[in-house]
Structure 1
């Protein structure tokens, strides 16, 4: 197991290097940050001086290798928007808020989809199945920003049950988590239903039923565990979607995470912050996928990693 984890961690290195190159080139292609930093009446001499001080007068690939060398030394650059603070420190300071939001959204999705999918599968073509399927389609069709606005208007403004912005108490995370996790819950409900139906039609499940085992025992000890494999697979793959969706959700609820930080950095063309946010988010997604792979061995002991 240890060798497998180390091998997976080493495999992340070229992926991270590729991400640094892509985001570096995209940021450089988006525009000149000097135009944002200096007033409109700045002289050409001032522009050239600032470009030289930032290293922007060098060829792009030379800039990249300088940037990569700094990364290997732990230097992610200085933020232009936040008065020359370390981009890495600012991003890491905001990261727990995004992880809290993504974790809460993931919890919401699992708590809704797991029982809903099981109920739908065990009541195929009956009203619980139809209700779950209809709500799943509606949930997948709703954009998270629209749902967030509706939650704010109904439960925040009209009813006053929850705070509408910021991050201070556990109540602050409820509406953002539902806004971000609803679409995932809808997707996982349909997946759990289809996976469980497929397993319930297997011969070994029919054999267990024919032996006189109770329906609950057949479901929990024989069908559910195998049905969870594809469920957990998609759950891990959707971590990237949660991180991407957090950008919009954090903007709607003024949630102080790296998603909101990324929007602020894009608006001010803060290259160091943009690059750092993308790299950190990518590493989080890859670590989450590794964790999901390790969970397989807990769900199904037949799966072993060498």
Structure 2
């Protein structure tokens, strides 16, 4: 296990280095600079600002400096937010996105597994058809349309929840459900297809012939073996959903990391774009590692080792 973790951490650092390098050079390849839109500022002041932020340094010097700042987790100042650093923006925005994402993730996993199991247990019956209709709607309807629909019905017409903003438990409900619809639908379909395959196995038939109850057979034998593809999907899903979904945060006026990322693109705030991309990559790599470790917990037959088998 120790050798496996060491090897995975080494690959994570290599992947992160490549991501940081690619992000840096892609940002530098974009025409213009963060001060391109500042038409009313005198040229002398613009040159002074570029010199202050090191934008006049040779490209390789900027690259080495940026690698050093990332290594010390100093992602630099924001070009557009006065007196704020990228670290400040991440520290302020990520807890909000994490709260929203965790709520949406819990909804997606809970409802997705329940719908998938029900659809598999009652295959080709009305329960199956109902669950799959819900899943198809979750996949087909774009998140921004669903978010607008939820706002119109449950906030404007019924008045049960606030239309937007952030800060109270009620303000979490609508964006969390809007954010969870798509992953919930995928989890339901994955669970259903794998449950149907597992339920057809001989050991499930043997368990039923021994007089085990339907709940015991489903929970102890079928569901556990059907979870592997779902666990695989949860890795990148958790990373994206916990760092914030840009569209949902913009629609509901949530001050999360996603809204800062969208704003930074429009403002050409390169340090914020690169910093949030690096932060997202770290979360993604970490979640993929957790998924690999979860394989050994879900299925004891999978042995983690450093031999690469």
Shift of 1:251: 0.8
CA distance, structure 1, for counterparts of residue 244 and residue 186 of structure 2:
15
Deviations 1:70-123 (A, max 9, x none): 222332111122213221122122111111111111111111111111110011
Structure 1 residues 168-187: aligned runs within 5 Å = 168-187=167-186
Tell me the matched-pair count.
304
Shift of 1:162: 1.1
| Contact 2:107/2:180 (<8 A) preserved | yes
Alpha-carbon RMSD across the aligned residues, in angstroms, is 1.9
Match of 2:13 in 1: 13
| Contact 1:114/1:188 (<8 A) preserved | yes
Q: Does 1:262 align with 2:261?
A: yes
Shift of 1:181: 0.6
Structure 2 runs not aligned, ≥5 long = none
Q: Does 1:274 align with 2:281?
A: no
Which 4+ runs in 1 deviate beyond 6 A? none
| Contact 2:245/2:258 (<8 A) preserved | yes
Deviations 1:44-92 (A, max 9, x none): 4333333222222233333222211222233211112221322112212
TM-score, normalization: structure 2?
Answer: 0.92
| Contact 1:251/1:260 (<8 A) preserved | yes
Deviations 1:236-255 (A, max 9, x none): 23234435861111111111
Which segment is superposed worse, 229-238 or 193-202? 229-238
Match of 1:145 in 2: 144
Shift of 1:200: 0.7
Match of 2:35 in 1: 34
Shift of 1:298: 2.3
Match of 1:298 in 2: 297
| Contact 1:101/1:246 (<8 A) preserved | no
Shift in CA distance, 83/241, structure 1 to aligned 2, threshold 3 Å: closer
CA distance, structure 2, for counterparts of residue 45 and residue 180 of structure 1:
47
| Contact 2:34/2:79 (<8 A) preserved | no
Q: Find the residue that maps to 1:35 and give its secondary structure.
A: coil
TM-score, normalization: structure 1?
Answer: 0.92
| Contact 2:101/2:243 (<8 A) preserved | no
| Contact 1:113/1:185 (<8 A) preserved | yes
Structure 1 residues 45-84: aligned runs within 5 Å = 45-84=44-83
CA distance, structure 1, for counterparts of residue 21 and residue 62 of structure 2:
11
CA distance, structure 1, for counterparts of residue 255 and residue 277 of structure 2:
16
Shift of 1:291: 1.8
Shift of 1:296: 2.1
| Contact 2:246/2:259 (<8 A) preserved | yes
CA distance, structure 2, for counterparts of residue 26 and residue 52 of structure 1:
21
CA distance, structure 2, for counterparts of residue 151 and residue 194 of structure 1:
29
CA distance, structure 1, for counterparts of residue 133 and residue 73 of structure 2:
50
Structure 1 residues 87-236: aligned runs within 5 Å = 87-236=86-235
Shift in CA distance, 98/244, structure 1 to aligned 2, threshold 3 Å: closer
Shift of 1:218: 1.7
| Contact 2:98/2:244 (<8 A) preserved | no
Shift of 1:261: 0.9
Q: Find the residue that maps to 2:175 and give its secondary structure.
A: helix
Shift of 1:41: 4.0
Q: Which structure carries more helix by proportion?
A: 1
Deviations 1:141-177 (A, max 9, x none): 1111111111111111221111222221122111111
